[in-house]
Structure formats: C-alpha cells, structure tokens
Amino acid sequence: MSLSRRIPQVGLLSLSAVALLLSSGCSNRMDDLEAYIDQVKARPGGRIEPLPEVRPAPSHVYAAGRDGVRSPFTPDTQVAARPGGVDAPDRDRPRQYLEQFPLDTMRMVGTLDLQGQMFALVQTRDGLVHRVAPGNYLGQSDGRITSISESEIRLTEIVADGLGGYMERPAALALSEN
C-alpha cells in the first residue's frame, strides 16, 4: 500500500474510534433511577391535613365627619404648635429670580460696598452674576439672606419638619476660591 492511501485510512480509523467512545457514554443506563421511582411509588399514601378555616376580618364602618372624627383622606389643617416651629412660607409672595435655582448650584464670587451697604455677588449655573442684599431670597427652600460678610452669605431657610409643620434651618454660601 502506498503512503498516500494510508493517511486517509488512518484518519477514517481515528474518527471511527472517537465516535465509538462518544456513543458509549450515551447508553440508556437508568436502572438505578427507575428502581428509586418504583420504591417511592410503593410507599403508602399519607393523609393530607385539611386547611385551617379562614375567618373573615371584622368589618368596621368609618364615620368620617361624625362625632368630631376627621377623614384620613383630607390633610390636617390644624397643626399643633411645636417647639421651634414657624409659620408656613408665604406661597402668595412674588418669587425672586434667584429662588428658581438650588442653593448648591450658586456660588458667591465677591462683595460690593456701595454707600455703606454691603452687597454680595452671586453667580448662577448659567454664568450670570447677580447682586443680592440682606432681605433678598436665595434657593428653593425660601432662604432669606440675613447677613453678608466678605467671606460668606448667611441665610435662613424654611423647610418642612416632617410632622406637618415647618422649621427654620440656617444655611450659608461661602466665597468661592475660583
């Protein structure tokens, strides 16, 4: 036999051997599994306990508006006085321009002293610089400027206290280094 005829025969023989090995792993040996299934089926059946009886919850008729009881779906208009509590912010007050920006997006960039009155220069996110004085409002939490120094603007914000009332919170805007 020539060498050129042996190479295809060797390749065919090795391919047949690999196929035989792979097919031997695919045998249908499930005898142990079938024996276990037969064993489980041979066990006597048990009795299933009945479900407990479900009793309906007692019903209650809510008489909103009767006997001085308020409806839970309307807000409580009478908030009890709390220590440190303040009146709600005036929602009818005309808003100033700088109240549309969050306080943390504004930067104090300088001060002006004009005729004995101290003004602060505040830069908004859009790059515009605005002049503010004590009594002006800044930020979205009704922050009113209480004082201006060369290094910061101090203000007092009115925020919800989480209990239906409001409280004052101090805040400051420091002079920016940039």
132 lies in some domain: yes
The total of structural domains in the chain comes to: 1
How far, CA to CA in Å, does 165 sit from each of 86, 99, 161? 7, 21, 6
Nearest to 141 by CA among 172, 102, 96, 95: 102
Residue 135 confidence (pLDDT): 95
Q: Which residues of the chain have pLDDT under 50?
A: 1, 3
147 lies in some domain: yes
Whole-model pTM over 0.75:
no
Residue 138: CATH number of its domain:
2.30.30.830
37 lies in some domain: no
The CA-based angle 139-75-96, given to 5 degrees, is 20
32 lies in some domain: no
23 lies in some domain: no
pLDDT single digits (tens) 18-48: 777 666 665 567 888 999 999 998 988 888 8
Q: What is the side-by-side order of every strand in the sheet holding 152-160?
A: 85-86, 166-174, 152-160, 143-148, 137-138
Domain containing residue 121:
85-174
